Amino acid sequence: MSTSANLLFPPLNPYRTGRLAVDDIHTLYWEECGNPQGVPVLFLHGGPGAGLSPKHRQFFDPAHYRIVLFDQRGAGQSTPLGETRNNTTQLLLADIERLRSLLEIEQWLLFGGSWGSTLALAYAQAHPERCSGLVLRGIFLCTPAEIDWFLNGIRWFFPDAHAQFVAPIAEADRGDLLPAFCKKLFGEDVAQGVAAARAWGRYEGRTIHLLPDPAVEESFGSEAVALGVGRLEAHYFSHQAFFTEDQLIRNVDRIRHLPAVIVQGRYDVICPMLSAWRLHQAWPEASFHIIPDAGHGAFEPGIASALVRATEQFKRDGSL
């Protein structure tokens, strides 16, 4: 049976890392891997707030690509962890532009999954001239329907995980979960906030894959990951990612000239396939790959294989 380990490129270490202070609150961690003279590609992690993993470097041929990765505001090794002040989509887009300028990159390929697909679409629509193409996985448009699905609809498939998710919330408050979680996550009781964040993180970790992955569940339930994921997802969901209504679909015409690949797991319950389908209907020029035996996880074999094929296709052709 194939695993992501034998589908990805070998592990590698950064040849350069840095920290970029973007305001009086936030400092971002960034790194570069692969070929310093290679074709630039920007990896955008999920969440919001999930942060980077060393495995994220392995979707790209390091002999060909100059691989840029960074932890978004409030995530991973960026500081402070889980901070929601000065944290909006518009500021994240400005951060990407500051990083691009710092690294003296004229144009790069965007690679993002889940919230990373959201951010990639938003950045490309704001700065199409800076993008050579997009590789997108597990599409999330951050519409009210998708947010409601995450908070409530997943229980139709994972009632056990959902019951544990809502356990920190009083039964009387479970009719409107998002404000109830925000009250816990951003309240003065630190212990309650951490417990709520860990419940949120475990819920996501339990529902990412088609088949259970206890290591991912444990990772998402750890305080180091859960504080970023729980706090920032609740923050961004509360503001519908600071988008106007259906913004990413309405603005597709700004990027239809760019080559793109959309990879979507058929049984993705975190970001159900309807969002990817809607994006492809609006953007029929994009290459669309439905993985029949996968959920949401980037490292599920079918998804990992399709993502590597996409980066290899861009390597060979410079487009699709």
Catalytic residues: 114, 268, 296
Please check whether residue 202 is in contact with residue 221, taking contact to mean a CB–CB distance below 8 angstroms: yes
Please check whether residue 115 is in contact with residue 275, taking contact to mean a CB–CB distance below 8 angstroms: no
How many Å from the N-terminal Cα to the C-terminal Cα in the chain?
29
Structure tokens that stand for 8 in this block: 């990805």
Structure tokens that stand for 199 in this block: 């419940």
Of the candidates 16, 81, 125, 127, the residue with the CA atom closest to the CA atom of residue 224: 81
All residues at 6 or more sequence positions from 40 whose CB lies less than 8 Å from its CB, including other chains = 65, 66, 68, 103, 105, 107, 108, 109
Query: Could you write out the DSSP letters of every residue in 137-150?
Result: ES-----HHHHHHH
**From the CB of residue 55, how many other CB atoms can be counted at a distance below 10 Å?**
14
Of the candidates 180, 175, 215, 214, the residue with the CA atom closest to the CA atom of residue 200: 180
How crowded is the C-beta side of 242, counted as CA atoms within 13 Å? 16
Judging by beta carbons within 10 Å of its beta carbon (0-12, 13-18, 19+), is residue 142 exposed, middle or buried?
A: buried
All residues at 6 or more sequence positions from 21 whose CB lies less than 8 Å from its CB, including other chains = 27, 28
Please state the three-class secondary structure of 34-96 as a single string.
Answer: ECCCCEEEEEECCCCCCCCCHHHHHHCCCCCEEEEEECCCCCCCCECCCCCCCCCHHHHHHHH
Measured CA angle at 242 (ends 239, 246), to 5 deg? 100
All residues at 6 or more sequence positions from 155 whose CB lies less than 8 Å from its CB, including other chains = 161, 162, 163
